[in-house]
Amino acid sequence: MPIEPDLSIYSELVRAQLSALGENPTREGLQKTPERVAKAMSFLTSGYRTDPEKMLNGALFSSESEEMVLVRDIELYSLCEHHLLPFFGKAHIAYLPKGKIIGLSKLPRIVDMYARRLQVQERLTTQIANEVQRLLLPHGVAVVIEARHLCMMMRGVEKQNSCATTSAMLGTFQSDSKTRMEFLELIRHRGH
C-alpha cells in the first residue's frame, strides 16, 4: 500500500510554484492556498491508497443469473497525468455473471478507485475492466468511458465541445458481436 502524501512538503511546493508564477503567496487570497491545494491533491489521488478488498467489503454474492448486469452514467472525475488538469465524464460498466455478482454500489467505487489517480482515459478504461474481471471472473466485461478533458478545452487546441470515448471489451463482449451490440445499444438509450 502506498504511503500517505506529506501535505507539509506539498504545501511548500505549491507556495514555491505560486512565487515562480509571479504571485505573492502571502497575499490575503493566497495565504491558505498551498494547504488547500495539498489537501485537494491528496483527495484527488486517493485511489493509489485504496485497498480493493476493503472497498469491496464482502459485497460478492453467489448468483445463478447469467444475464447482463449494466450500470451506466457513473460520474467520474480524474486528473490528466500530462498537465494535471481535470477530465470528467461518465463510465458505463456491464458484465455477464458466471456464478458471482457484485453489489451495484461497488462498480462506482471501482471507477473512483482508478479515477482518483493521475490518469489517461485509455488506461483508466482498461483498469476498470480488468478489476471487474479479476473480482468476478465473469463471462465478459465491457466498459465505455465518455469524457471531456480540460487539457484540450482550456489550452492547446481549445476545443470546448470535444468528447473522448474509450472502450474495453473482455470475454464474451469481445468475442460475440451480438452481446457487444446489445451493450452499446443499452448505453445509447438514455431513458430512465
Q: For residue 34, which of 8, 5, 61 has the smallest C-alpha distance? A: 8
Q: Which residues are catalytic?
A: 80-83, 121, 149, 151
Q: What kind and span of H or E run contains 80?
A: strand 69-80
The position carrying cell 465541445 is 161
Angle formed by the axes of helices 7-20 and 33-44, nearest 10°: 120
Q: How far apart are CA 157 and CA 140, in angstroms?
A: 37
Q: How far apart are CA 5 and CA 38, in angstroms?
A: 9
- The residue type of 87 is F
The DSSP bridge pattern shows strands 60-62 and 100-102 to be antiparallel
Task: Locate 8 and state its grid cell.
Answer: 507539509
- Taking the alpha carbons at both ends of the chain, their separation in whole angstroms is 39
